[in-house]
Chains A and B, each alone.
Chain A
């Protein structure tokens, strides 16, 4: 190779490197300082002891992990899983037929229906939860309506049912969208073929539509489960602090008890559960 040919190539490579440097450095530097370092701190604080007035004393301990295994905390973890799972199942039961119908609508109405589903999601989260307080409260509207029928009053607010209602309400659009995407791209000829071969509508759904939309089901379920599991605002506003979820514990450890190391351990447990679920989802999606 002659030097005359290698030089432009080298110059090009240098310029490429420079381009990569100029474009990537600012954003990545920002993410290193304000994302990776903070996460590394959460990870490392787990091994230290709590300071007397918050903060941390840099003495190694595994106590924060052993405390996680306390039945008290395991029960909270279990209850969080249960609430998030129930939320996901209800969102799926409501979201699947909804997405199925939207996918069958004429093109013009599809967009309208999708915007209608997503619109509440873009409104203030706290206000939406406030709306449920008004509806479910003792003197609230649902009880007033029931009273005129001679029923109630019922304790609708500040229990697990209220939490699940709030969670389903908040994250239902995240279930409908991936389901819609999965159902929409199904070839209608597949269902026609199934019907022509004599399968009933339900059999076609069970044997053709449902198996082919499993990836959408998995994605939607993950999208609903993840924010439900780590939530602390909804259990606090609608659960009245009676049902405690992992998120509430973390919030208390950080802002009230000021036990940062144990709070970090709880956060780590939360992330661990979510990572396991993500891996399971990826595995299931590949098999589907």
Chain B
């Protein structure tokens, strides 16, 4: 019994290690003073400063545009790719290519795309980041949808074809509805990954625009302020809510599937 109690020590060390920095960011965001280190009293003023900061607002808008655009590309192409790989080919090389962006170091993909955009003389901007994020996001969507495909019954599709439905009708009315939870999960994953992505955006966005992670990165280079803490606290709240909601949704999905 004593030994199993002892096991709780590294577990709680891990939890404290993971959450202490986050707690500090949130606590210091309510600091009334100017310092990010010494707490002087409770205030919401840095949230006000944040709401007035045009760079942050622009960064947020850019990030949402990039995330939305790349999620659409990744979801459509990734879903088709997953169905194609699962149902229409046995090629392991194609499997490997589809998964490659997820395992390749982000830095290598980033410089490859920088070279490519340079070669075709594309002016860098938000759309070059959208295209770039589409690459790795697609790999994740395809992987999630394939997992779902592996767990679905092909006999429904066969029945649909036997009853005279064409391939398009079968895909739209039978395959897609079965895959819907997987597609949704993949799209959410793609969106979240794009929101947070820094390295590839940093290399492929050019000098004129910034996504939110790049805005934060350059703010930090000019010194730490409670404004960054306030921004951090909001972002933490948003992603915590999203992850927990996602967790709940998959649980409900699983419960329904078991019924």
Contacts and interface: CB of A to CB of B under 8 A. Distances in A.
Interface stretch (B40-48, B176-184, B195-203): B195-203
A104 B14 contact: no
A140 B105 contact: no
Most buried by B among A35, A45, A132, A270: A35
Interface residues of B, number: 86
Interface of B is mostly: helix
Contacts of A30: 73, 77, 134-135, 138
B247 A28 contact: no
A188 interface: no
A127 B216 contact: yes
A19 B109 CA distance: 30
28 contacts: A16-B88, A19-B167, A23-B80, A23-B81, A26-B77, A27-B77, A27-B81, A30-B73, A30-B138, A34-B116, A35-B100, A38-B113, A41-B115, A54-B118, A97-B7, A122-B192, A122-B196, A123-B235, A130-B232, A139-B37, A141-B24, A169-B18, A232-B199, A233-B217, A237-B220, A254-B114, A267-B107, A270-B108
Contacts of A230: 105-108
Interface in A170-218: 172, 176, 201
B61 interface: no
Contacts of A19: 84, 87-88, 167
A206 to B, nearest CB: 14
A124 B101 contact: no
B159 interface: no
A120 B37 contact: no
B220 A23 contact: no
Contacts of A172: 14, 17-18
Given A39-B109, A41-B116, A270-B105, 14 more contacts: A24-B84, A31-B101, A41-B112, A102-B11, A115-B247, A123-B239, A123-B240, A128-B22, A130-B216, A132-B21, A144-B38, A172-B18, A263-B111, A271-B108
A134 B36 contact: yes
Interface string B110-134: 0111111011000000000001101
Interface in A25-64: 26-28, 30-31, 34-39, 41-42, 45, 54-55
A138 B85 CA distance: 54
A251 B15 CA distance: 33
B213 A232 contact: no
A20 B88 contact: yes
A81 to B, nearest CB: 14
Interface of A: 15-16, 19-20, 22-24, 26-28, 30-31, 34-39, 41-42, 45, 54-55, 94-95, 97-98, 100-102, 104, 111, 113, 115-120, 122-128, 130-135, 137, 139-141, 144, 169, 172, 176, 201, 226-227, 229-230, 232-233, 237, 247, 250-251, 254-255, 260, 263-264, 267, 270-271, 274
Given A41-B115, A124-B216, A233-B199, A27 B78 contact: yes
B19 interface: yes
A101 B8 contact: yes
Counting chain B CB atoms within 10 Å of each CB, which of A19, A115, A123 scores highest?
A123
Nearest to B83: A23
Nearest to A274: B105
Nearest to B3: A201
Nearest to A112: B247
A201 B24 CA distance: 39
Interface string B143-181: 000000000000000000000000100000000000000
B56 interface: no
Contact of A120 (B18, B76, B167, B229): B18
B94 interface: yes
Nearest to A40: B112
A267 B115 CA distance: 13
Contact of A127 (B138, B236, B240): B236
A116 B88 contact: no
Contacts of A100: 7
B89 interface: yes
B220 A250 contact: no
Which of B11, B85, B100 gathers the greatest number of chain A CB atoms within 10 Å?
Answer: B11
Contacts of B190: none
A135 B24 contact: yes
Given A20-B88, A34-B134, A130-B216, A122 B105 contact: no
B66 interface: no
B80 A27 contact: yes
A34 B247 CA distance: 32
B80 A122 contact: no
B142 interface: yes
